[in-house]
Structure 1
Amino acid sequence: MNREANRDSFSGYHPFINFGYFAVIIAFSMLFMHPVFQAIALFSAIAYSIMLKRKKAITFNVLYMLPLLLGMAALNPLFNHAGVTILFYLKNGNPITLESILYGLASACMFVTVIVWFSCYNAVMTSDKFIYLFGRILPALSLIFSMALRLVPRYMHQIKIISNAQRSIGRDVTQGSLLTRVRNGLTILSIMTTWALENAIETADSMKARGYGLPGRTSFSLYRFDRRDKAVLAIMLVLIAAILYGWAIGENTMRYFPSMKAAEMTAVTLAVYVAYFGLCLLPVITNAVEELKWKAIESRT
């Protein structure tokens, strides 16, 4: 067994576990605007993305997500002037308030966190997992959605193939004069469009020939809901119940306007923080536990 071929143990769980986890964690990331919850979610999302994609995730987070976070946080105080703690005034007379700055930072953090979680979702929830979950319930919609999720990476891969082929005969967008480059670019776009249309027709014909979506159709699947999935599901339900209880009593909320106010720090607050931290880091913890088990097995051999 090649350990390097499957670095992420969490993606090896049942598709219901994977999809349910991301559905819950993305919803919580959008709902909870408390700074502690936002920091936990952002840290966990970045940690898991790095564990999944290594250097690509670091590049993506530093070159794209960090500027997006800082840009959104800086723009909000320029348009939102609510709040009672005025720091200074702009030349046009509009105030810059502490509340608007912190709310802009929280909103930007939430937006970036959701994007990073979705990048992890795309890496874990493959099209076959999605079709396995929803193929019988919504066959047409699940097929379209699974195709849409892999649209960009698949098309990017294909356009690289077409560009390399055109470059070998001197017709790439980097070769020739400006007019020639434009003409070459249009040729590559035309080839790509033709390939996309043919691929869509072939996919539709293939799924139709297999009887996809017909009543009574059976399908083979390797996914089984075993003891390991039940254990993780039980842990997830306990953590989610604790977080929802904290939400019900106001531990997860934060008021920014007109003045900032949060729940007082108590033992229940700390417990909710720990539960949320455990839920957000569940994939990372799972991978760490599996790595320790794997090293223990290797040490015996």
Structure 2
Amino acid sequence: MVNRKAEMFRLGLGESAAFYRSHPLLNFVYFAMIVGMTMFSNHPAFLLSSFIMAWVYSVLLRGVKAIRFNCMILLPTMILTVLLNTLNVHNGVTVLFYLNGNRITLEAIIYGCATALMLSSVMIWFSCFGTIVTADKFIYLFGRIAPVIALTLSMILRFIPLLKNRFREISAAQRCMGRGGKDIGLIARIRQLGKEVSILIAWSLEASIESADSMEARGYGLRGRTSFHLFRLASTERWILVAMIFLGGICIAVCALGHTNIYYYPTILLPPISLEQAACLGAFWLLMFSAVAIDIRGMRQWN
């Protein structure tokens, strides 16, 4: 049991997550509401809450890979965002010091931190979205409404991990043939990398031609063509969907009324703490935690 828990922490739940097996509509509504709230609410309490839960859920889904991605890519991105906003925006009344004749203000630093939290949270949520909402789910949701857009987006979502896997296969095959490795010089490494990228491009183009021929042979785009799926909205999932829409509706209504607005320039103006603001934050936390609760319940049922 200990080894299994350690392996689960290292790899994450992935496709074994209970929320992954839920209906695509449930998955899409969940991520759409959370990402929307994260993008359009600039209140630090909501941004920090979204950032914390995004970290928790990404580690639960993707394990050590999520920690590596969040630390090695997102943290430098956050620091760079704060620095760029601080050095390029000189609004604000609280001047900390002058740098080359330019004002460095507290408001610019805090706004840069808020922007960095928003960007990193959205990126982490989208990494979770890519794990949960697969190409077949996306086509199921939007295939009839906008078939071309659905197919294009599903291929884009699939293309990046597919290229990564193909590049690993090419690199492994080249090493087995005695090419590449760490023992060669820098120029030889660059040449070998160019050769591997060339192989990858040729392989991808050939595969795209085969995919197009296969789709044409199967009648894609013909009028009246149907698609097969195994998705069925269970009664429990209907109640969960209603609860998500209710919680998201509370958040949207409170934000639309302006109870979560905050002004950073020229001085920071926080809205007074109110019952509406507390209800909105509580509903937002419940909404974000719902997917984690579904996965934890699924793990206990499996055990």
Residue matched to 1:140: 148
Aligned partner (choices 265, 276, 287) of residue 284 of structure 2: 276
Residue matched to 1:59: 68
Task: Map Cα deviations across residues 159-185 of structure 1 (whole Å, 9 max, x no partner).
Answer: 111111111122226464555444433
Counterpart of 1:255 in 2: which secondary structure?
coil
Residue matched to 2:80: 71
Find out whether 1:251 has 2:259 as its counterpart. Answer: yes
Residue matched to 1:113: 121
* Counterparts of 1:255 and 1:19, CA distance in 2: 31
Q: Which amino acid aligns with 2:24?
A: P
Unaligned 5+ segments in structure 1 are: none
Alpha-carbon deviation of 1:24?
A: 2.0
Kept in 2, the 8 Å contact 1:18–1:125? The answer is yes
Counterpart of 1:222 in 2: which secondary structure?
coil
- Shifted more, 72-81 versus 283-292: the winner is 283-292
Find out whether 1:229 has 2:237 as its counterpart. Answer: yes
Counterpart of 2:287 in 1: which secondary structure?
helix
* Counterparts of 1:270 and 1:177, CA distance in 2: 60
With structure 1 as the length reference, what TM-score do the two structures score? 0.91
* Counterparts of 1:81 and 1:216, CA distance in 2: 59
Flag the 1:59–1:170 CA change in 2: closer, same or farther, 3 A: same
Residues 137-286 of structure 1: matches in 2 within 5 Å?
137-172=145-180, 174=182, 176-286=184-294
* Counterparts of 2:31 and 2:174, CA distance in 1: 40
Kept in 2, the 8 Å contact 1:135–1:213? The answer is no
Kept in 2, the 8 Å contact 1:135–1:143? The answer is yes
Q: Which amino acid aligns with 2:108?
A: S
Q: Which amino acid aligns with 1:102?
A: I
Q: Which amino acid aligns with 1:87?
A: L
With structure 2 as the length reference, what TM-score do the two structures score? 0.90
* Counterparts of 1:253 and 1:103, CA distance in 2: 13
Find out whether 1:86 has 2:105 as its counterpart. Answer: no
Counterpart of 2:97 in 1: which secondary structure?
strand
Alpha-carbon deviation of 1:155?
A: 0.8
Q: Which amino acid aligns with 1:124?
A: I
* Counterparts of 2:296 and 2:259, CA distance in 1: 29
Counterpart of 2:30 in 1: which secondary structure?
helix
- The alignment-based identity, stated in percent, is 40
Q: Which amino acid aligns with 2:121?
A: T
* Counterparts of 1:152 and 1:139, CA distance in 2: 21
Q: Which amino acid aligns with 1:28?
A: M
Residue matched to 2:25: 16
Kept in 1, the 8 Å contact 2:17–2:298? The answer is no
Flag the 1:181–1:237 CA change in 2: closer, same or farther, 3 A: closer
Task: Map Cα deviations across residues 16-64 of structure 1 (whole Å, 9 max, x no partner).
Answer: 1112221221121110000000001111111110010011111111122
Q: Which amino acid aligns with 1:46?
A: W
Task: Map Cα deviations across residues 219-276 of structure 1 (whole Å, 9 max, x no partner).
Answer: 2111001112211111111111111221133222111111111221122221111011
Q: Which amino acid aligns with 1:187?
A: K
Find out whether 1:37 has 2:46 as its counterpart. Answer: yes
* Counterparts of 1:151 and 1:143, CA distance in 2: 12
- Shifted more, 223-232 versus 131-140: the winner is 131-140
Counterpart of 2:20 in 1: which secondary structure?
helix
* Counterparts of 2:274 and 2:297, CA distance in 1: 31
Q: Which amino acid aligns with 2:31?
A: F
Q: Which amino acid aligns with 1:129?
A: K
* Counterparts of 1:112 and 1:276, CA distance in 2: 18
Alpha-carbon deviation of 1:94?
A: 1.6
- Shifted more, 140-149 versus 252-261: the winner is 140-149
* Counterparts of 1:58 and 1:230, CA distance in 2: 33
